Amino acid sequence: MWSILLVLLQYVLCEGVMQLRMPGVTIPHNDTYYHMQTELSDTIYITGYRAAAESGTVHHMLLYGCRSVKSRGTKVWIGGSSCEEEPKILWSWALDAPEFDMPANVSMEVGNTDIKYLVMELHYKVAQPETHKDTSGVDIMYSKQKTKYQAGIYLFMAEDGTFPPKQKDIHLDLACNYTSPAINVFAYRTHAHNYATLISGYRERNSTWSLIGSRDPRKTEMFVRLEIVMDIKPEDTLYARCEYDTTQADKSIVIGNTHHDEMCNLYFMYFIDSDKINTVNGICTTQHEFIVPFEKEGRWYDEYISNKLLVFVLVCVCVLLVGFPLFYCCKSCFCPRKSYYKRPNDGFEKLFTPEEDDEEDEILYKSYKHSY
């Protein structure tokens, strides 16, 4: 009864949830890649994603949109490509990332469009006993109502690279000129494996650089919302940098698909007018070294604060330069002024305080000053 009412309520609100689940698959070996296809009969507008998986079992999960898929005689297969043509990344997940919702009036249109199939990819890091039947997947929240804007993914992805062992500060750079219609980036996500420490993305416009997002990929791999939407226009240049620390590695690390390899992936989620979504070239794989101007120049004191001894010496000098004058001023304000002098023929020192001594001492002091 309640389930019928729920279905009716969702129908009235033109909203629903599509559940995609692996049909109890076994995981025969490490780094098993499973794909599952779902054909779409109606047009829907995706408004959010919620993973039904655990990072202890699933290393990462991707959802692709495809115009067509290869005929395999099965809807679930191991390895192989996801789409017959170039796939579109719709969503990605790893490390127990939380649910993700689109901004208001933004969705991903699928169905009777260029995306007629959804293909879910799951990477299982470690083999499981044959008795383990996995049903991981994703819940897709959608609406039947078209939105003004469509969301898409712009992906930076390194296709090759080698990192020597026992190195602390090494990086891989990607750079591409943006030539598609203007987009608005509202979220980003980083992805790598064991040795990456930071992944950052930048926009350069008219020689002015702006940081779009930067995150340690070892943290929860969620799409992080930007506080301010970053627009990307034609003729802008987009950059991504992946930084690595291989001090714990005993051999060279290469870019690859297994959990022993490394990756360098940065996802920008953007929105654009619905009628322009298919005109965006959403991938950058060109490796190109670059220097971020504000990182190179830095702050004038960055070089000095790295030297602890120099910092200590500078602090001591500042204390001396500021402390003594301040102490003298305070002493003058709160302590009575005193002077020392010798009385003529007395043979001893006399402390003279004009406010306290008598008139005779004042006369003696004046005669003492005139005699010298």
User: What HEC string does 282-348 produce?
Assistant: CEECCECCCCCHHHHHCCCCHHHHCCHHHHHHHHHHHHHHHHHHHHHHHHHHHCCCCEEEECCCCCC
| Residue 257 pLDDT | 86
Of 54-63, 77-86, 110-119, 326-335, least confident by mean pLDDT is 326-335
**Amino acid (one-letter) located at 262:** E
Pairing of strands 106-110, 149-157: parallel
Q: Does residue 172 carry a pLDDT above 70?
A: yes
Q: Does residue 68 carry a pLDDT above 70?
A: yes
Of 111-120, 239-248, 307-316, least confident by mean pLDDT is 307-316
Percent share of the chain, pLDDT over 70: 78
Tokens, residue 144: 């039947």
**Surface-to-core class of residue 218, CB atoms within 10 Å of its CB (0-12 exposed, 13-18 middle, 19+ buried):** middle
Q: Does residue 323 carry a pLDDT above 80?
A: no
Kindly give, in sequence order, each residue whose CB lies less than 8 Å from that of residue 179, ignoring residues fewer than 6 positions away.
234, 235, 281
Instruction: Output the pTM of the full model.
Output: 0.71
| Residue 332 pLDDT | 61
Whether 189 contacts 224, CB under 8 Å: yes
